[in-house]
Amino acid sequence: MGSYKYCLCFTRKFRWSEAQPPPDVRSAFAAFTDGGAHMTDDQLRRFLSEHQRDEDAGGGGVERIVEQIRHLRHRNPLLGKISRTLLSLEDFHHYLFSEELNPPLVSQVHQDMTAPLSHYYIYTGHNSYLTGNQLSSDCSDVPIIKALQRGVRVIELDMWPNSTKDNIDILHGRTLTSPVELIKCLKSIKEHAFSASPYPVVITLEDHLTPDLQAKVAEMVTETFGDMLYYPDSDNLEEFPSPEFLKKRILLSTKPPKEYLEANDSKDKGNASKNNKASNDEEAWGKEVPDLKTEIEYAYKSADENDDDDDDPKLRQNAAPEYKRLITIKAGKPKGSLKDSLKVDPNKVRRISLSEQQLAKATESLGVDLVRFTQKNMLRIYPKGTRFNSSNYNPLIGWMHGAQMVAFNMQGYGRSLWLMHGFYRANGGCGYVKKPDFLMQTGPHGEVFNPEASLPVKKTLKVKVYMGDGWRMDFDHTHFDAYSPPDFYTRVGIAGVPADSVMNKTKAVEDNWTPIWNDEFIFPLTVPELALLRVEVHEYDMSEKDDFGGQTCLPVSELRQGIRTVPLFDRKGMQLKSVKLLMRFEFV
């Protein structure tokens, strides 16, 4: 008998009720039905046009939505059947609270894709072959495949001679990472390159090879990719092609062999000058002096600082012509002063790479130079060498200054990576996001956007968090609390330029699997084009650290106004099956 009572108590404590429409949903339904019990097609059309501001509310849009609601109810017997075109309040609520029917973002590519590549932010990975940490994890094609399936468009491979010096391995040099063969990575890239997006994939190569192995790379690349591989007819591009022109194509980006660079840039100089210049390259601007204590840290930092650097210039004197001909985006590190390196050449485009620390230093005095450089050329930012655990940095600093390739450890974790995932949900998740016009504009006297300038508020976003649901399906009933339902609260804020960045939170709702908050927040934005709406749900725990209940980041410029369903993701960025919030977005 005692166990039976315990069972009843347990059931009572973990009871839940189906989510009911919040007051604003009831009010909207009443307003557009003139207080009636059902909503007609015309009334739904008016709601979508006036309240939701949906552009496709006319024509057959409403009929399609009603059919989708009917289909949703048919699939889910718990919702009952809808055999009429009229919608009840419950139908209306289920429609609004369906991610499938009422998502927060436009799902199609809608930006102009015909501008040069330099006009876009590009979803970029760093050390794409690593399965875990930067020092000792396995190298594999699996994280490359996962990145491509997420929509990442830039894959980085570090090429080294194998142990017998007759083939090419991919590994993080001077660390304990185990290698994977280049050919395996290339074949996986070919197979999965366009699984999430038809727009071009760029392979950035860190080249530590001898000329004969470079020739082997050229052979592998051309045989593997065939007509998918794009490379220009001439040695120097005056302007990068567009993502639209490069659809379903694969490009290579790396530092051209030393001999080739010197032949073009120093034709008047003799071999002695060349060798002198090559040795001086080791003192490139901004290079940090390793100060880490252990040998393994020193080795890793050295490997990281060689990102995009040449290995031994003596190996470059007879570089394979086939190899250098295949390089579309010619890369390098700054030589001499960074200010000189950022000068724009009207006759050719190129790419330079900076570590996150070098970028931070450069923004102190060269912010405008960075913006001007990135209007035509490529700028790639990569994580600092001490991020052994594959963590990441604040990507907004690079984006504010026009950097197209803000390279992230996609196998990492944490809030910075959530921002990266969210940023590239824009433009249909195709991996290319058009840079804001203000970063591309040049004034009558050659002036460009100054990231340090104080700006007025351009747009204000109002966000209301109504309710949440789905945890009872995705989590065990004792996951958050062993003895009672969870006490959920939501953190809501903006990640963007410093003036716009802020975090707030709702009240905590006690003992409820379907919490209703009805809390509203107002966010004045000076640069809404680069703002991300941050949303996190946590479960309040009095005695320990609050439990994590889901997160998402959404590009503010792409938010659909009105009442929308917002699906949440786990810590690794994978979408939770059922967890979602009902929210309202309004620009004033």
Catalytic sites, residue numbers: 126, 172
Token pair 């209007």 is at which residue? Answer: 375
Report whether 117 contacts 244 (CB < 8 A).
no
What are the helix and strand counts (H, E) for the chain? 19, 20
Name the phi and psi angles at 381, rounded to 5: -115, 140
The two structure tokens encoding residue 474:
């995705």
The span from the CA of 518 to the CA of 506, in Å, is: 9
DSSP-assigned letter for residue 195: S
* Widest distance between CA atoms in the chain: 98
The span from the CA of 414 to the CA of 422, in Å, is: 13
According to DSSP H, which parts of 2-114 are helical? 2-13, 23-32, 41-46, 61-75, 89-96
Name the phi and psi angles at 20, rounded to 5: -100, 155
Name the phi and psi angles at 399, rounded to 5: -65, -40
Report whether 106 contacts 55 (CB < 8 A).
no
CA angle 464, 469, 475 (to 5 degrees): 135
Q: Side by side, which strands form the sheet with 575-587?
A: 502-505, 488-495, 532-539, 547-555, 562-569, 575-587, 459-469, 516-525
The span from the CA of 281 to the CA of 306, in Å, is: 11
Token pair 């015909």 is at which residue? Answer: 114
The span from the CA of 542 to the CA of 235, in Å, is: 64
Report whether 252 contacts 328 (CB < 8 A).
yes
Half-sphere exposure of 90 (CA within 13 A, CB side): 10
The number of beta carbons lying within 10 Å of the beta carbon of residue 515 is: 28
The span from the CA of 560 to the CA of 289, in Å, is: 48
Report whether 526 contacts 500 (CB < 8 A).
yes
* Secondary structure (3-state) at 46: helix
The two structure tokens encoding residue 152:
């990442």
Token pair 């084009």 is at which residue? Answer: 529
Residues 6+ apart with CB under 8 A from 451: 363, 367, 368, 371, 400, 401, 497
The two structure tokens encoding residue 292:
């880490």
The span from the CA of 588 to the CA of 585, in Å, is: 10
The two structure tokens encoding residue 490:
């939501």
* Secondary structure (3-state) at 255: coil
